[in-house]
Homo-oligomer: A and B are copies of this chain.
Amino acid sequence: MEKLQTYLYREIPITRAMGIRVGRYDDSGLILTAPLSANINDKTTAFAGSLATLLTLSGWALTHLVVQALGRQGDVVISDGRIRYLMPVHQDLEAVCAMPTEPVLREFKTKLLTSGKARWELHSDIRVNDRPAVTFSATYIARVLPG
């Protein structure tokens, strides 16, 4: 994950200003964090823009890691997203992007390798006291060069 962390700070400078850190990545998904202090708003809660950015990036990063593991050059973009703010976030931000089920993951990889392009919908959230405070569903498109 250190490689992704370095990549983010070098290629997307605002992620450094936000203090975004790459956390755990495993079969269950990917975690990104950011301190409240750098992302605070006028109500001393997390700024909606920062919450949206962290969630947007969580799905991008998960897709990026899945594509990278295939050993191909490629890129990932977000196509659309839906965000719901359910309650204010008074603490450091932790966004969790859930790994899709095994069949969805397999289909995504197969499509990407055979056609050079694949899309999927990912679900991320930021939780407070184990309850979702902000939820995000978005479509990401990956492209790879022929191998």
**A residues neighboring B (CB under 8 Å):** 7, 11-15, 17-18, 38-43, 47-50, 52-54, 56-57, 60, 75, 77-85, 88
Contact = CB atoms under 8 A, between A and B. Distances in A.
Contacts of A39: 14
A44 B133 CA distance: 32
Contacts of A48: 56-57, 60, 77-78
Number of copies: 2
Q: How would you classify the secondary structure of chain A's contact residues: helix, strand, loop or mixed?
A: mixed
B78 A41 contact: no
B42 A7 contact: yes
B77 A80 contact: no
A97 B60 CA distance: 26
Contact of A50 (B11, B43, B53, B77): B53
Which interface residue of A42, A48, A50, A83 has the most chain B CB atoms within 10 A? A48
Contacts of A38: 13-14
A40 B17 contact: no
A120 to B, nearest CB: 15
Contact of A85 (B57, B80, B82, B84): B80
Contacts of A81: 52, 82-83
Contact of A49 (B41, B57, B85): B57
